[in-house]
Amino acid sequence: MRLSDLSVLIVEDHGFQRRVALRLLEELGLKRVDVAADGRAALAVLQAASTPTDIVLVDLDLPEMDGIEFIGHLAQQKRVGAIALTSALDPALLNTVQGMARAYGLRVLGVVEKPLTTVKLAEVLGQFHNSEEDPVAEPDVEIGPGALRRGLAADEFEPWFQPKVAISTGHVVGVEALARWTHGGRLIGPSRFVPLFEREGLIGELTERMLERSCRWHRRWADAGMDLKLSVNVSMLNLVDIATADRYQQIVMDCGVRPRDVVIEVTESSVMSEAAHVLNVLARLRLKGFGLSIDDFGTGYSSLAQLSQIPFTELKIDRGFVSGAPAQSRKRAVVEASLDLARKLHLTVVAEGVETVEEWQMLAELGCQQVQGFLISPAVPGDQLLAAIADWHKPDGAGARTR
C-alpha cells in the first residue's frame, strides 16, 4: 500500500490545527481523510465508515472526552489499523499513553510533535507500511476450547521463524520460533490463542509441539550448513511441572539437536507462581545446556528480582522501548540502562522490533549485540527462512553489507 492510499482520521479540537493537518495530508497525496473536533464525533465517524480506518491521528487535549479516554474506546471498537499521537505535551506523558495504547492491543506508530509538517507526518505514517509487512492476521473471531483441541488434532499449529542478527557483523546468528495457526483459511498470531491455551490447560501440549517442530527445522538448516541458535517461547505455566526439563531435553535430542543450540525464552511479565518448582526447572534446563532468555524485559513488575534469582544467559529489550527511541530521550535512556545492566550481568542482549536504520544505528552505538525486527525480516515459514537470510545478505539490498 502506498502512502497516498491510506485512510486517515484527524481528531483535533482546534480549527486552525485541523485545517493545517488536512492541508499537509493533501500535500502528501492522501485523498481519504476525515476530520473530527472531539472524541465522540470521531467515534461516530469510525462507526459510520464502511471499512476500518487505517490511521487515526489523535490529539490528547480534547474537550469533554480527552484523547486518553478516546483511545480506550478505539480499542473496544476495533475499527482502526493504527494510531499516532499529535501533541506537544510532556514526552513522559506521551510515552505512557503509547504504552497504554499498546497494552489495549492497538498498533501505535509514534508521536507527531506539533507544529505539524509534511516531513513529520510522512515519517510516522510511513511506519504503517513497515508494520504491514507481518503477514499474520489478527481476525476478530471467537475461539473456544473445542477449536483449540481440533486445531491440535488437525496439526494446524506450526512455527514460523524470525532471524536474529549480530550487529557487529550483520550476519544472521539465530532465529526465534513464533507459533502460527491456520484457522478457517486465516493465519492467526500467538497473541490471539496462547492466552486461551494457558487458560484451558493446553499450553504444555502446544509448547512441546512447537519445540519439536522447531528443532526438526533446525536440523534441516544444520544439514544445509546453516549454524543458528534456536529460541523457543515457553510460558511460566509450563515450568511448574518439574518434569519439564527432562521432557525438553528428550525432545531436542530426539531431533538431533544439542540443548546448547536452544534458548528458552520466558516472558518477564509472566507471574511466577509456584516459584520453587519454576526455579527448579529453570536451573535444570540451564544445567542441561539450554540458554535462558528473559523476554520483553522491562514490561513486568519483577525484572530485577527475576534477574537475581534465575540463571539467564540473554536479555531481550521489548519492542516498545526500541520503537522511536532515537528521537525519544526517555526511551533511549531505558535502552541504554538495560544494556548497562546486561553487560554487568554478562548477558547477551537482543533488541526486538527494530524497523528503521536509525534504530539499528542507535543500538550499535550503545553496544547492543543482536537485533530482530521487520528491518531484517518478518517471521517466515521454515521453508522460506534460508531465502529470507539470503535476501538480507544481498550486497545491493538492506542487508549486512550496506551497514
Q: What residue type is 178 in one-letter code? A: L
Q: Does residue 118 share a domain with residue 93?
A: yes
Q: Does residue 318 share a domain with residue 276?
A: yes
Q: Which of 131, 159, 193 is the last residue of a domain?
A: 131
**How many Å apart are CA 379 and CA 389, to the nearest integer?**
11
**How many Å apart are CA 304 and CA 268, to the nearest integer?**
10
Q: Does residue 55 share a domain with residue 160?
A: no
For cell 528458552, name the residue.
264
pLDDT score recorded for residue 304: 67
DSSP 327: G
Q: Does residue 345 share a domain with residue 255?
A: yes
Cα 81-84-90 angle, rounded to 5 deg:
155
Q: Does residue 216 share a domain with residue 284?
A: yes
Does an H or E element contain 188, and which? Answer: strand 186-188
Q: Does residue 216 share a domain with residue 350?
A: yes
pLDDT score recorded for residue 7: 94
Whether residue 260 is contained in a domain is answered as: yes
pTM: 0.73
Q: Does residue 155 share a domain with residue 125?
A: no
Q: What residue type is 1 in one-letter code? A: M
DSSP 137: B
Q: Does residue 229 share a domain with residue 95?
A: no
pLDDT score recorded for residue 401: 39
Q: Does residue 279 share a domain with residue 154?
A: yes
**How many Å apart are CA 349 and CA 307, to the nearest integer?**
13
Percentages helix, strand, coil for the chain (3-state, rounded to 5) are 45, 20, 30
**How many Å apart are CA 140 and CA 260, to the nearest integer?**
39
**How many Å apart are CA 330 and CA 389, to the nearest integer?**
33
Domain count, the chain: 2
Contacts of 108 (CB under 8 A, 6+ apart): 82, 83, 84, 85, 98, 101, 102, 323
Residue 150: give its domain's CATH number: 3.20.20.450
Q: What does each C-alpha distance from 373 to 294, 346, 385, 392 come to in angstroms?
A: 17, 23, 14, 12
Q: Which of 82, 108, 131 is the last residue of a domain?
A: 131
- Strands 172-183 and 157-166, by their bridges, are antiparallel
Contact 74, 39 (CB under 8 A): no
Contact 262, 234 (CB under 8 A): no
Q: State which residues of the chain have pLDDT below 50.
A: 131-135, 137-139, 269, 271, 274, 301-302, 397-403
Whether residue 329 is contained in a domain is answered as: yes
Q: Does residue 257 share a domain with residue 119?
A: no
Q: Does residue 169 share a domain with residue 113?
A: no
Domain holding 27, by residue range, is: 3-131
Whether residue 302 is contained in a domain is answered as: yes
Q: Going along 52-126, which residue ranges are E strands?
A: 53-58, 80-87, 108-113
**How many Å apart are CA 60 and CA 72, to the nearest integer?**
12
Q: Does residue 307 share a domain with residue 160?
A: yes
pLDDT score recorded for residue 270: 52
Whether residue 10 is contained in a domain is answered as: yes
Whether residue 136 is contained in a domain is answered as: no
pLDDT score recorded for residue 124: 86
Torsion angle of alpha carbons 289, 295, 298, 299, nearest 10°? -140
| Residue-wise pLDDT tens digits, 355-399 | 999 999 999 999 999 999 999 999 999 999 999 999 998 765 444
Give the closest residue to 11 by CA, choosing from 49, 51, 46, 50.
46
